[in-house]
Amino acid sequence: MKRGFVLMLAAAMALGMTACGGGEVSSEGRIGDTMETYFFDFTINSASLAGEYAGRTPEPGNALLVAEVTVKNTYRESIEMYDTDFQLGWGDAEEDYCYPITTDPETYEELEPVGEAQLPGTYQLAVDEVRTGELVYEVPAGRADFSIGYLEMFDDGTEEGDTGDAYFVYFTARENAAASV
């Protein structure tokens, strides 16, 4: 099911980034805007590019993008959150996206966070619980304009599930010489 989700959000991200007439974006925002989804509210508080994060450095030709996000459970019961809920996009091509570094891009297996402020790959949010943390992405160097997207998924009894609304937060990441720990 997660693989299907990955492909659906990638397609939604491509449509959202191109801003062409072919795809509708359910909701768009900017840094500091609160996006209200069916299950939770989220706000991208800040985003910056860094050469390292808690001792981790990117592959040559890449940079790290650190986005601070606040998530509040507005659903009627506890929910399980995943780092893959928040996909980062930066261009028009189908492959111009990635997930936080707490997910292996080849196997989609969860990896341990490298920094204390970093959100884990999977975590629980109780009813009305608010959690703030960092999502860290490895991105191509030289990029500055990005979006973080979320696509609602509903369990309809099928392996793929049913998709709901899509949410995109657009921003220009600032350079940040200091890395978080």
Which pLDDT score, from 0 to 100, does residue 176 have? Answer: 75
Domain assignment of residue 84, yes or no: yes
Domain assignment of residue 133, yes or no: yes
Please tell me the distance from the alpha carbon of residue 85 to that of residue 132, in angstroms, as a whole number. Answer: 15
Q: 149: domain CATH number?
A: 2.60.40.1240
Give the amino acid at 6: V
Provide the domain count of the chain. Answer: 1
Give the amino acid at 83: D
Which pLDDT score, from 0 to 100, does residue 144 have? Answer: 94
Which pLDDT score, from 0 to 100, does residue 127 have? Answer: 98
Which pLDDT score, from 0 to 100, does residue 4 have? Answer: 42
Domain assignment of residue 109, yes or no: yes
Domain assignment of residue 167, yes or no: yes
User: Residue 42 in contact with residue 130, Cβ under 8 Å?
Assistant: no
Q: Domain range spanning residue 145?
A: 2-175
Instruction: Chunk the chain into consecutive blocks of 10 residues (it has 181) and report each block's average pLDDT, rounded to whole numbers.
Output: 43 42 70 97 97 96 97 97 95 93 91 94 97 97 96 87 93 74 42
Domain assignment of residue 181, yes or no: no
User: Residue 28 in contact with residue 149, Cβ under 8 Å?
Assistant: no
Please tell me the distance from the alpha carbon of residue 43 to that of residue 36, in angstroms, as a whole number. Answer: 9
Which pLDDT score, from 0 to 100, does residue 150 have? Answer: 96
User: Residue 55 in contact with residue 114, Cβ under 8 Å?
Assistant: yes
Which pLDDT score, from 0 to 100, does residue 179 have? Answer: 47
97-98 and 122-125: which strand pairing? unpaired
Domain assignment of residue 180, yes or no: no
